[in-house]
Each structure stands twice: as structure tokens, then as C-alpha cells.
Amino acid sequence: MISGWRWPGSLRLRLLGATLVTLALALAGAHAWLGGLFRDHVLRQFDTTLVLQLDQLTARLEFDAQGQPLIDPRSLSDPRLDKPYSGLYWQLDRMSPGGQTRVGVLRSRSLWDTQLALSADALADGDLHTHDGLGPQGHAVRIVERSLAVPEQPQARWRLMVAADTREALAAADDFNGVLAASLAGLGALLALAALAQVAVGLAPLKAMQRALQQVRQARTARLEGRFPAEVQPLIDDFNGVLDRNAEVVGRARTQAGNLAHALKTPLAVLGNAAAQVPGNDLAPLVAEQVQVAQRHIQWHLARARVAASQGLPGQRTPLQPLLAGLLRVMGTLHAERGLDIAAADMPADLAFAGEEQDLQEMLGNLLDNACRCARGAVHVHAVREGALLHIVVDDDGPGIAPAQRADVLQRGVRLDESTPGSGLGLAIVVELAALYGGALTLDTSPAGGLSARLTLPAAA
């Protein structure tokens, strides 16, 4: 095991790497095996021809009256045997019992003035041996020899051999090897392309999954959408299950927080009214004050619980325009008595907040409500997107807030104007919610001299 080595991080590289290495090894192996097989076959054929030649020579071998061997060259069919250094040769050696060998007692004309050198060999009568040796001009030759004993000369043994130049045969094998290598390389290239295509097709669902996840992250969809292959679909279903469950848990948390708040508010209303309706009740101011305190606590913690529940949920995208339109309708109705000019500047339809709808509604609702309470005649809203940020600006033409006091009003429960109704939590809740989303609320002076509240939030794609 190689320690410290890891598979590369990319699945595509792993698959491709493993496939291509295996492919290269298999093709190289096939090349070696097939090449060897062909070479063996060529040599076997070569040997068979040599043996045929040897058989013919053996048949033509005669001895004259003096016991001298004799082979009539004209009786041999292959013309190469007569042509010097033609590449096909034969030779007859005489081996005496004493170990002395007379090389080249007879030989083909093609050997011209050379001899075939062959080491001593102990062959049984009629046996065939094949050798690789060197021919007349130093070329490699294949030699087939046969040992013979003739009844006329029982003391002598003859060694008859046929040799042929192997260059042509081996060149044919090499040619074949070349063609084989080229074919296998072509096959390898095709298979590599097929592997590439296979990996691309095989990993395509992962790409699709990544895109689907991105859609969820960018809040364009709430779940992973699309059909995936059977191997991936269970993962998608499980993931969607987790998303659904998350949303459900958040929804339940919100509902429960809301239910608790509602359950507490009616008794508080009863308590406050009861204290106020009894004439001459000394406790009335105390009860009213404590009811107010309890209400602030509820409002504050309910707002926080709502946001905390939705934090980190993927897939949140709230288009600004319709939400703002709804809130402007509400402001127009709630502040109908004041006859305000409440309007929003034209804004791109795709402006969207990367977060939960109710949270944006809380922030904007509080800002608009605050502006409507303070305004003398007009409240104007405009919004722009700058990079990843969404800026929503609510301007009013009210008295505004002095720069020195601006930090104070953003704090929980601080009210500059005790004469208007409200818990004093509105702006503090906006600050808190915006901060939870990584945004901010800044106060400035509006063009009309009133308050300009700028809410900066993460924008959705």
C-alpha cells in the first residue's frame, strides 16, 4: 500500500484515470500476446517449409560406390539453392565416431564458399533439431538438422541440414506487429472516447443535481426539481424530505410562537381594560404600565423567535414589488385618517430579498408604519440593487430625528414621541431582523427634511 497517496478529488478524473490505465494495460498486453502468437505461427510455418526441404534432400541423398554421398542439385526443386547467398542453403556434415566432424561434405551452391557452422549435437537417428544461427553473410538463419545413418556405412553418421534466412519472415511478423499496434492504438483511442462519453453521461445527473441545488440555494425553487436516474433519485427524495421537514419545523415553530403570543395578548387586553374601566382605581396606571411591558416582551421575543426559526433555511426568495404593494395598501387604510401620499418609485420586477417573506414584511411594515405616523403629508419608498445587496429606502416628510438621537431610537423600547401609539419596538425590531440576515438599518435625513430610513439586506438572484 502506498501511504499518503489519495485518489484525485474529481470523480471524473478517478473514473477516467482508472479506465484509461486499464485500457492501456489491456491493449499493450493484447499487442504483446497477439504479436508473439503471430511470430510463433510464422516461424512454425517457416520450420515446416524447412522440414519439407530437408525431407526432399534426405530423399535425394545417395552414396556412390566409394561410399561418397551424392545429391544431385538438379533434382532439387527450389531455384534458390543454386543462387549464391540466396537465403536458402543446405549442407551435409559427416560425423565420425571419434568425434571428428567433416563439415560441409556436400552443400548447396547457394552457400558458395562458406559453410554453416553448427555446434555438435547428439541426435538420435532420424531426429530433427531446429537451431538459430548465422548464415553466410552474417545474417540470422534458421537451421533444421537431421541425423542420418546409412546401412552402407554403419560407422559413419551424417548430419543433413537446411538453413534459411529468417529476415523476410521476421519482417512480415514485424509488419504485422506494426499494423497490429496501429489497429490497437486506434481501438484504444475509440475506447478512450467511449470512456469519456460514458463518464460524461454517467456523471451528468450529478451536474443536474448540482444545478438543482443551486436553484434551491438561490431560492428559485424550494425543492430539488427534475427526474434523476434510479441510482440518484432516492438521494434526491431523501434530500427533498429533509428540506420539507425543515420548512415544516420552521412553520410549526412560527405557529407555536404566534399561538403563545396570541394566547397571552387577549388576557393582557382584558387586564388592561379592567383596570381602566373601574372608576377611581389607583392600580390602573400600574396595570397599564405592566401590560405595556408584557406586550413589549411578547412582541420582541415573538419577532426574534420567528426569525431564528427561519435562519439558515435554503431556498428563500421574496420578490419585493408585490410585498411592498400589499403593505402600501395596508398603510393607506390604517392611516386613511391622515390623508397621506404614500407611494413607491418604479422598481425592477426582479428585485428580491434573499430571505423569508414574513421577515421582510415585518421590517418594511414597521418602517412604513413609523414613517406614516411621523409624516406630515408624504411617504415615499424606493429600492435598488447594488451587487449582492438590496437597498430599500423609506423617506417621510415628518420632523425627522436629530443625528445625535438616531442611535437611541434604534435601541429597544426607546420612543422619542410618547404621544403617538406604538410600543417603541418597531425600529429596534427592524435592526434586529436586519442584523440576523447580515443587513443593517441606517437613518438619515430625507430630501423633504424628514427621516430617511435605509434598509440594507441580502438580495436574491
Partner 1 sequence: MRILIVEDEPTLRAQLRTGLTEAGYAVDEADNGRDAHYLGDTEAFDAVVLDLGLPVLDGLSVLKRWRDAGRAMPVLILTARDNWSEKVAGIDAGADDYLTKPFHMEELLARLRALIRRASGLASPVLQCGALALDTRSGRVTLGGQPITLTSHEYKVLDYLMHRPGTVVSRTELTEHIYAQDFDRDSNTIEVFVGRLRKKLPPELIETVRGLGYRLVAP
Rule CB under 8 A: is residue 361 a binding residue for partner 1? Answer: yes
For the four alpha carbons of 367, 368, 372 and 375, in that order, the dihedral sign comes to positive
155 contacts partner 1 (rule: CB under 8 A) = no
CB neighbours of residue 97 within 10 Å: 8
Q: In the complex, what is the shortest distance from the CB of residue 354 to partner 1, in angstroms, rounded to a whole number?
A: 18
Dihedral of the CA atoms 261, 266, 269, 271 (nearest 10)? -110
Cα–Cα nearest to 93, from 159, 155, 161: 159
How far apart are the C-alpha atoms of 15 and 207, rounded to whole Å? 16
Please pick, from the candidates 268, 284, 313, 389, the single residue that binds partner 1 as defined by CB under 8 A: 268
- Taking the complex as a whole, the smallest distance from the CB of residue 333 to partner 1 amounts, in Å, to 5
Query: How many residues form the binding site for partner 1 (CB under 8 A)?
Result: 35
Choose between 26 and 325: whose C-beta lies nearer to partner 1.
325
CB of 396 to partner 1, least distance (A): 18
Check residue 376 for interaction with partner 1 (CB under 8 A). Answer: no
Beta bridge partners, 440, equal: 456
Cell output for 333? 387604510
Smallest gap from residue 437 Cβ to partner 1 (A): 16
Q: How far is the CB of 431 from partner 1 (least distance, A)?
A: 16
| Cα separation, 353 vs 243, whole angstroms | 20
DSSP category for residue 260: H
Pick from 64, 113, 231, 337 the residue near partner 1 by CB under 8 A.
Answer: 337
What are the residues facing 143 on neighbouring strands? Answer: 131, 163
Exposure string of 243-277, with b = 16+ CB inside 10 Å and e = fewer, is: beeebeebeeebeebeeebeeebeebeeebeebee
291 is a site residue for partner 1 (CB under 8 A)? yes
- Is 296 a residue that touches partner 1 (CB under 8 A)? no
Asked if 365 interacts with partner 1 (CB under 8 A), we say: yes
* Contact status, residue 238 vs residue 211, Cβ threshold 8 Å: no
- Smallest gap from Cβ 393 to partner 1, in A, equals 18
Q: What is the per-residue binding string for partner 1 in 241-260, x denoting contact by CB under 8 A?
A: -----------------x--
Binding span for partner 1 by CB under 8 A among 239-247, 261-269, 433-441, 442-450: 261-269
Shortest distance, CB of residue 16 to partner 1, whole angstroms?
Answer: 52
Tell me the C-alpha distance between 191 and 30, whole Å: 14
Among 20, 30, 247, 271, binds partner 1 (CB under 8 A): 271
User: Does residue 336 bind partner 1 (CB under 8 A)?
Assistant: yes
Binder to partner 1 among 327, 433, 443, 451 (CB under 8 A)? 327
Q: Binding of partner 1 at residue 299 (CB under 8 A)?
A: yes
Within positions 88 to 147, which residues make up the interface with partner 1, using CB under 8 A? none
Based on CB atoms, which residue is closest to partner 1, 247 or 276?
A: 276
* Amino acid (one-letter) located at 438: G
When the beta carbons of 154 and 280 are compared against partner 1, the nearer one is 280
How far apart CA 67 and CA 187 sit, in angstroms, is: 63
CA distance 33 to 387: 64
Residue 277 binds to partner 1 (criterion: CB under 8 A): yes
The reply to whether 284 sits near partner 1 by the rule CB under 8 A is no
Q: Environment class of residue 371 by beta-carbon count within 10 Å: exposed (0-12), middle (13-18) or buried (19+)?
A: buried
Q: Please, what is the minimum distance in Å from the beta carbon of residue 426 to partner 1?
A: 11
> By the 8 A CB rule, do 140 and 131 touch?
no
The upper half-sphere exposure of residue 409, i.e. CA atoms within 13 Å in the direction of its Cβ, equals 22
Which residue spans within 259-377 are E strands per DSSP? 318-319, 341-344, 352-353
Taking the least distance from each CB to partner 1, the nearer of 153 and 299 is: 299
For partner 1, the binding residue among 95, 208, 261, 409 (CB under 8 A) is: 261
Q: How far is the CB of 260 from partner 1 (least distance, A)?
A: 10
Binding status of residue 413 toward partner 1 by CB under 8 A: no
Confirm or reject binding of residue 188 to partner 1 (CB under 8 A). Answer: no
Shortest gap between Cβ of 262 and partner 1 (angstroms)? Answer: 4
Question: Closest approach of Cβ 294 to partner 1, in Å?
Answer: 8
Place of cell 407611494: 343
Question: Pick from 139, 252, 329, 376: which binds partner 1 (CB under 8 A)?
Answer: 329
401 is a contact residue toward partner 1 (CB under 8 A) = no
- Cell numbers given for 255: 405557529
CA distances from 19 to 4, 16, 29, 91 (A): 22, 5, 15, 56
Which residues make up the interface to partner 1 (CB under 8 A)? 258, 261-266, 268-274, 276-277, 291, 295, 299, 326-327, 329-330, 333-334, 336-337, 357-358, 361-362, 364-366, 421
